[in-house]
Amino acid sequence: DQQVKQNSPSLSVQEGRISILNCDYTNSMFDYFLWYKKYPAEGPTFLISISSIKDKNEDGRFTVFLNKSAKHLSLHIVPSQPGDSAVYFCAASGGGTGNQFYFGTGTSLTVIP
């Protein structure tokens, strides 16, 4: 049972434009959401997070939006750069003990120069 879903396996964007990556979740108990970036042959790298008490969090070119009523979050990258080409995973946690995260299946972003 996939509690966190990324329905777009891939996305291509022109350099300088906005990249929007989407993520949906089913468990209303989740209260922390994170985005990770992964290059081939490397482990995922933490990008940005948001807690359920907020609806937006910004860090430089990266902004995460959370819509709790729709159980949806998105990552905006503006402007997109070729170095942003990677697989992006969203993850969620909450409602239990410890620090267990549920990950989506990832979206492969290609930024075209």
- Applying CB under 8 A, the residues found at the interface with other proteins are 2, 6, 31-32, 34, 36, 41-46, 49, 51, 89, 91, 93-94, 96-106
Torsion of CA 44, 48, 51, 52, to 10 degrees: -90
* Terminal Cα-to-Cα distance of the chain (whole angstroms): 38
User: Between 105 and 110, whose beta carbon lies closer to other proteins?
Assistant: 105
Cβ at position 98, least distance to other proteins in Å: 4
Cβ at position 14, least distance to other proteins in Å: 27
**CA–CA gap between residue 7 and residue 113 (Å, rounded):** 25
**CA–CA gap between residue 102 and residue 105 (Å, rounded):** 10
User: Between 79 and 94, whose beta carbon lies closer to other proteins?
Assistant: 94
User: Between 15 and 103, whose beta carbon lies closer to other proteins?
Assistant: 103
Token pair in block for residue 66: 């959370």
Cβ at position 103, least distance to other proteins in Å: 4
